[in-house]
Structure 1
Amino acid sequence: MRFGYGANHGLGKGPQPKQGRLMLSETDVLQAVRQHIAERGEAPKMGQPTSGEITWHSLLEGTIVRCIETRTENKQLHRGRIDLSDRPRYDRLEQYPLAPPKNPAAALTLELVQRGSVNEDPCPCGNGKVACSRCQGRGDLSCASTTTCSDCRGIDACLRCDGTGHRTHKAPEEARQVAEERVTCKKCGAFEAACSTCRGRGHVTCSTCRGRGVRECPDCDGEGTEPHKRCGGTGLTVAWTEGIISRQPRTEEIKWPESGLPYVARQHARQDGDWRKTSLTHKDSVPDGLEAEFKALLKPRLKPRDGEIARKADLQYLPLARVVVPEHRHRVYYVYPGQSKLRVFILPSSQRTWQIAGAVLGVLAVLYLLSRLLS
């Protein structure tokens, strides 16, 4: 299995020159592992691998920004006059010409008016006023001329007559006099027996109507009329058919593969790898010079979405090999192209990871037992 990897990273349109292309093969990968072991001085102790199990990963990262357009029509009703002269006219909304955006990330909302749909109508109310719905045009509301006393609540307005004017109770003994101040009752004349607020009546004059029995309507401020809801008090309405063209960007983050590759290995490849980069718009086809793996990953992701009118994809690609050699079962080697040579990154195998974890847990258990014994 062989993978081509180009040295030209700023891809344009059309075929790419093949001169200077680096062909990444299984032989290249194993040789890079051997060289890495030698550079670390581990060859005499560990030996050099003669074969290995190689798994290929195609790393793809970047963003795809799509401009999605929707066109909708709505019936509009405006209360009062409105100037629509600055809005574009159309006959059929789906046929209104609008060039694709140069920047797919820019949002746009365009309000249009269907030609011949504007209709200005005088309102049946005449002047924008109708009779107040609360007072029925009278301008006032009936109101109780008195209200219950807030202090005595009409219950103990007078200790002698209970607010009736007829004394039915004896005067309380001095020791049983109530603490609050009492005044002479206006009903029965009893001394120091009545509530100081209502003076024995049990009610007071209404503060709103001042005892007149009617009060001003709060909804219309006594005028007897209110603005007509349909025309908003303007006396006319304007109706038209509105067309809306909305363009909104949708950004898709690309990260492939989504799983199956250790985070640390991917980070090393992201920082030190010699990524193959390309930038494509909706007008561009997939360049012929890209590797087959890159093309296979790109094509389904560049498929137009519903309502898509523009697109820009900024992507980068890197082949990466996962290598396990029989001589070093405790290691996993990751090999990928660097700026000047193949880069090698080592991680412990899953078996070695569990061994290390077990050893750490064993040490922690011993330390715990020692601390218990010493305490």
Structure 2
Amino acid sequence: MLSETDILQAVRQHIAERGEASKVGLPVSGEITWHSLLEGTVVRCMETRTEDERIHRGRLDLSGRPQYDRLRRHPLAPPQDLSVATTHKLVQRGSVKEESCPCGNGKVTCSRCQGRGDLPCAATTSCSDCRGIDACLRCDGTGHRIRKAPEEHRQAADERATCKQCGAAEAACATCRGRGHAMCSTCRGGGTRECPNCDGAGTEPHKRCAGTGHTVTWTEGIINRQPRTEKIKWPESGLPYVARQHAREYGDWRKTFLTHKDSVPDGLEADFKALLKPRLKPRDGEIAREADVRYLPLARVVVPEHRHRVYYVYPGPTSLQVFILPSPQRTWQIAATVLGALAVLYLLSRLLS
């Protein structure tokens, strides 16, 4: 564990190496604030167990599926890779029932045609052109000439044909020839059409067995395992980003990898233990856990000789690393100076324009 003496000595050595000892002097004391940096991930395997009543339409061999008696107590080995989601489907022992469907052969009477195989259909339909209204300008489709001559307001723009009903020339609709209707294209005038539901058979597949005449029912147990990854970053705020990045790159981090079977090592620093233990607490539904974390102690130092600086000190691979940032007050002074200069330049540009 770093001591305050080690921290101040590292700051003094850094000032001396920068050639600033003659200007600002070497500090003999300082205000030290400790930060414990903790980073890493915790991967948890979260398990849920559910049961469902299942039905299969037709024959099904379930002998190859694992069986269970009580799903909550069914043993299942922890996963080898916690980051991979898995689903295990099991069959409750004694729940499988293979039955012949009451329908017999998988067919039931067609619900639409009631077993007839056909449906009523209109033998004729209205003419698509005259709609039966202007079938013939002399007989109106009756076959009897009830008019002496076509009325001018009923004359059509298209060419008229000879009426097949009354024989009047140039009086009938060219499409239906005076009949006012056409034969139904579906039933060809027969008055019935094939039932589209059963294709004329009068029967349709039974919905319960899907036409197989057989069903298999069972109780299915599902064990679902999903990974949940938690990112660890401590402290979440309060430390300048550039200082943390510098520590990430040059710090000598203490690393550890723990599973749900491992306890926190006794050799870890007390601060590290205090941060790590609550993050390793089991969650509801958790069956396995892996934690890959690292830890670095970092000291924030402000010395009386130059309070416009903040020194950040942390262990490096071979020696203590020192990183300097302007103090918050210094940062505000620099910002105010820059804003003042920009304001002056703006006013000058306005005066010269």
CA distance in 2, matches of 1:45, 1:199: 118
Q: 2:204 maps to what in 1?
A: 226
Q: Does 1:172 align with 2:134?
A: no
Quote how far apart the aligned CAs of 1:299 are: 0.8
Q: Which segment is superposed worse, 296-305 or 25-34? A: 25-34
Q: 1:71 maps to what in 2?
A: 49
1:227-284 CA-to-partner distances (Å, cap 9, x unmatched) read 1111111111111122222222221111111222222221111111100000111111
Aligned length: 351
Q: 1:206 maps to what in 2?
A: 184
CA distance in 2, matches of 1:100, 1:66: 11
Contact 2:150 2:171 in 1 (8 A): no
Contact 1:161 1:169 in 2 (8 A): no
Q: Which segment is superposed worse, 74-83 or 352-361? A: 352-361
Q: What secondary structure, in the 3-state scheme, does the structure 2 residue paired with 1:269 have?
A: helix
- In structure 2, what residue type is equivalent to 1:55? T
Quote how far apart the aligned CAs of 1:210 are: 1.9
- In structure 2, what residue type is equivalent to 1:291? E
Quote how far apart the aligned CAs of 1:333 are: 2.1
Q: Which segment is superposed worse, 228-237 or 137-146? A: 137-146
CA distance in 2, matches of 1:236, 1:103: 41
Quote how far apart the aligned CAs of 1:58 are: 0.9
Q: Which segment is superposed worse, 109-118 or 143-152? A: 143-152
Change (3 A) 1:161 1:283: same
Q: Which segment is superposed worse, 197-206 or 128-137? A: 197-206
- In structure 2, what residue type is equivalent to 1:328? H
Contact 1:167 1:188 in 2 (8 A): no
Q: Does 1:341 align with 2:305?
A: no
Change (3 A) 1:103 1:160: same
CA distance in 2, matches of 1:36, 1:164: 118
Contact 2:85 2:227 in 1 (8 A): yes
Q: 2:269 maps to what in 1?
A: 291
Contact 1:62 1:314 in 2 (8 A): yes
Q: TM-score, normalised by structure 1?
A: 0.84
Q: What secondary structure, in the 3-state scheme, does the structure 2 residue paired with 1:183 have?
A: coil
Aligned mate of 1:305, from 279, 283, 296: 283
Q: Does 1:129 align with 2:102?
A: no
Q: Which runs of 5+ in 2 are unaligned?
A: none
Contact 2:33 2:299 in 1 (8 A): yes
Q: Does 1:40 align with 2:18?
A: yes
CA distance in 1, matches of 2:142, 2:334: 97
Q: What secondary structure, in the 3-state scheme, does the structure 1 residue paired with 2:317 have?
A: coil
Aligned mate of 1:59, from 18, 33, 37: 37
Q: RMSD value over aligned CA atoms?
A: 2.7
Q: Does 1:114 align with 2:117?
A: no
Q: Which segment is superposed worse, 327-336 or 354-363? A: 354-363
Quote how far apart the aligned CAs of 1:86 are: 0.6
CA distance in 2, matches of 1:361, 1:54: 32
Change (3 A) 1:44 1:126: same
Aligned mate of 2:77, from 76, 99, 116: 99
- Percent of aligned pairs sharing the same letter: 79
Q: 1:256 maps to what in 2?
A: 234
Q: Which runs of 5+ in 1 are unaligned?
A: 5-23
1:11-67 CA-to-partner distances (Å, cap 9, x unmatched) read xxxxxxxxxxxxx12222222222222222333334433332222111111111112
Q: Which segment is superposed worse, 112-121 or 36-45? A: 36-45
